[in-house]
Amino acid sequence: MRKGGKAAKWAARGERLSAALRENLKRRKAQARGRAATPTLDDGDGNRAADEAGSGGRQQPNTPDFRRNRSNE
């Protein structure tokens, strides 16, 4: 008879890693939501919208960047 010990170990390891990755992703998303919920600087004159429009489509520095290959733009 053959024992499936090695295969069972790898399966259990894969399940542990998958669970850890899911928890990590949930934590990162919660942190990103928390950062996004912080109030932004706004002088009340609507200049915030003008600043966003003038950014040329670049991402604002306070928004989370989850891209795999980040560039130094």
Least confident of 20-24, 46-50, 63-67, 69-73: 46-50
Radius of gyration, alpha carbons of the chain: 22
Tell if the pTM clears 0.75, that is, is over it: no
| Cα separation, 31 vs 53, whole angstroms | 26
Average pLDDT, stretch 23-41? 87
Taking alpha carbons only, the member of 37, 32, 40, 33 closest to residue 65 is: 32
The predicted structure's pLDDT at residue 62:
73
- Percent of the chain at pLDDT > 90 equals 38
pLDDT at 9 over 50: yes
